[in-house]
Amino acid sequence: MNFTEHVKIRREKFGTVIFETLSEKIFITNETGARILELIGQGRDLPQMVDELQKVYLGDQKIEKDIADFVDCLKENNFISRK
């Protein structure tokens, strides 16, 4: 999983901004979303991200679905490659 070519990421006080400069679309996320972005930046795949975040969100039953939905949202907006 990788960011597409024109994606830029910047942390702000109110969250993290992802800017796809080719389509000029902007996406804003919170700290949890920012952590997922960090993991994507490190080239982690979905199961690895789930493993990592389960350490923080112990006992959260729907963690896998939440992460998958978030990743789908990034894909739909062309922020990460669909491969």
Partner 1 sequence: MNIEARTERSINSAIEDNGMESAEELKTTIAGMRFEDYKAPLFVAWQINSECNLGCLHCCEEAGHSMPDEMNKEEVFNFLQQIVDLNIPYVAFSGGEPLLHPHFFKMCEFLRRNNVSLKVETNGEFIDELTAEKLAKLKFRSVQISLDGATAKTHEKLRLKGDWEKAVAACHYLIKNGINTEIVFVPTKFNIHETGALIDFAYSLGAYGVYTGKIMRIGRAAKNWGILSPSDAEYENFFAVLKEKIDLYKGKMKVYYYPYDVVEELKYRLEFPSASVLVLPNGKVKLIGPLPFICGDLKKQSLAEVWEVYKKSWRNPEVIEFAKKVIVDPKLLAKSNDWKQI
Q: Do 36 and 22 contact (CB within 8 A), yes or no?
A: no
Among 25, 38, 46, 52, binds partner 1 (CB under 8 A): 25
Q: Does 12 bind partner 1 (CB under 8 A)?
A: yes
Q: Does 47 bind partner 1 (CB under 8 A)?
A: no
Q: Does 57 bind partner 1 (CB under 8 A)?
A: yes
Contacts with partner 1: how many residues (CB under 8 A)? 35
The distance of closest approach from Cβ of residue 83 to partner 1 in the complex, given in angstroms and rounded to an integer, is 19
Q: Please name the amino acid found at residue 79.
A: F
Among 1, 33, 40, 49, binds partner 1 (CB under 8 A): 33
Q: Does 23 bind partner 1 (CB under 8 A)?
A: yes
